Amino acid sequence: MQFINRERELSALKKFWQGKNAQLIVIYGKRRVGKTELIKQFIREKPHIYFLAQKINEHENLKLLGEAVGEYFDNDILKRKGFENWKWVFEYLRKNVKERTVFFIDEFPYLAEANKGISSVFQSGWDEYLKNTPVFLILCGSSISMMEDEVLSYKAPLYGRRTGQIFLKPFPFFEAKKFYPNTSFARCLGLYSIAGGNPSYLKIFNPRLSLETNIKRNILQPEAFLYNEVEFILREELREPRNYFAILKAIALGRNKISEIVNETGLPKGILHKYLFILEDIHIIRKEVPVTEKNPLKSRKGIYKLQDQFFKFWFKYILPNKGNIEEGRVDLVLKKIKDDFNLIVSENYENAAKEVINNHKSRFFPINKIGRWWDRNEEIDIVALNEEENKILFGEVKWSNKPVGVDIYNSLKRKSLKVELHKDRRNEYFCLFSKSGFTESMLKAAKKEKVTLFHKDKIIEI
């Protein structure tokens, strides 16, 4: 399969490459998010040394590194004996690298596991040997917490040495959709509602097969590629995953407020805050507040959501049903998924709709913020803002088999009156998204009142 997207990240790496000085670039992100593929795409046709660190002791890693460096420089002795220590590595590179060369260390956290002082070793190696050479050093890792602690944080020995960093995130919906060309919007949204934006997951799902078949083959078997994936990721990041699992399961089941998570997990509120902070810090969850909040960090309306769609799917359907899956009762698990899977698709349609609006800013106004709004028992799917221009957009999103009628539009207008932001002097815009189109009366109302209508992801020109 062709390499898809990541134009911004590739462009950044190319700019770093064009510089004359030595570079130390840090690239990190969750397991299987595409870090290695991004770097391999970048180093293609460039002089490079690629070393994949292993979960073995330091001596064995240095031996493997010697093979990689010896292969590049055609040094049979180095290939056979390897390096004795890291000082030898840095000395060898300073002496032998005469042209711009990428030195790519993949899974740097494995080196840190074997040597707790590895960051100080690399700091010394950079300062004393590499910073005045043509070396283009890339440190890459899947453990977000360890990469931040060992390389990026203020207290890390390597702090201040890096010349750039890239945090690689899963694809948003419309980038993920490129994995399935010539596939309908609805089918892509269904697949995304399982796999999320992780390219390694997207590649294994076949858009020509039903969602049920894809789920059966790739998830609902103990030996399937994705069956234990989330557990592997969390055990790399967290030392004691049990309580974290309980929290993530609660959030996946819709227990999004602090009080609800406390009731679901039984964890004391004070301890829960610590766990939530850690999960936020490693980008597993995010705290969401109404988009109109002036001080989001201090808002008491915050709710917690899982960031990764596959995590949502796994915690909602796989973790609670592991016993059934292990005993082969796959059809029972599939039935549970089918019963409310449409709710997950509907939520992802809201996220896709935000992307659509951002792609049509010229039709509305330059958008500074976009998100949801809620207050007590009222909620608006999409509110987009430009406070400098006093402009606000209200949107409702419906993934339903019924065409959207005037009642939905009138309800949106009513709820918009409850949003106090610049209420007396703002310019208001309205839009509606629908899976199944719009009634004739709604089409007439939209033409009269200049409401923008989207059928799935396409504008209806009235």
Q: Where are the domains of the chain?
A: 7-167, 175-342, 360-459
Q: Classify strands 135-141 and 101-106 as parallel, antiparallel or unpaired.
A: parallel
Distance CA 189, CA 88 (A): 52
Distance CA 103, CA 389 (A): 48
Report the 10 Å Cβ neighbour count for 109: 25
Residue 403 token pair: 């065409």
Residue 267 token pair: 């964890």
Q: Residues 434, 356: contact at Cβ < 8 Å? A: no
pLDDT of residue 2: 57
Evaluate the CA torsion angle 317, 321, 327, 329 in order and state its sign: negative
> Angle CA(1)–CA(210)–CA(219) in degrees, nearest 5?
75
pLDDT of residue 1: 46
Q: Classify strands 303-306 and 285-288 as parallel, antiparallel or unpaired.
A: antiparallel
SS (H, E, C) the chain: CCCCCCHHHHHHHHHHHHCCCCEEEEEECCCCCCHHHHHHHHHCCCCEEEEECCCCCHHHHHHHHHHHHHHHHCCHHHHHHCCCCHHHHHHHHHHHCCCCEEEEEECHHHHHHHCCCHHHHHHHHHHHHHCCCCEEEEEEECCHHHHHHHHHCCCCCCCCCCCEEEECCCCCHHHHHHHCCCCCHHHHHHHHHHHCCCHHHHHHCCCCCCHHHHHHHHCCCCCCCCCCHHHHHHHHHCCCHHHHHHHHHHHHCCCCCHHHHHHHHCCCHHHHHHHHHHHHHCCCEEEECCCCCCCHHHCCCCEEEECCHHHHHHHHHHHHHHHHHHCCCHHHHHHHHHHHHHHHHHHHHHHHHHHHHHHCHHHCCCCCEEEEEEECCEEEEEEEEECCCCEEEEEEEECCCCCECHHHHHHHHHHHCCCCCCCCCCEEEEEEEECCCECHHHHHHHHHHCCEEEECCEECCC
Structure confidence by residue, pLDDT tens digits, 47-100:
999 999 999 999 999 999 999 999 999 999 999 999 999 999 999 999 999 999
User: Which CATH number applies to 175-342?
Assistant: 1.10.10.10
Residue 189 token pair: 């949204």
In angstroms and rounded to an integer, the radius of gyration of the C-alpha atoms of the chain is 25
Pick the CATH number of 7-167 from 3.40.190.10, 3.40.50.720, 3.40.50.1580, 3.40.50.300: 3.40.50.300
Regions of the chain with pLDDT less than 50:
1
pLDDT of residue 252: 93
Evaluate the CA torsion angle 389, 376, 283, 381 in order and state its sign: negative
Please give the CATH topology (third level) of the domain spanning 360-459: Trna Endonuclease; Chain: A, domain 1 (3.40.1350)
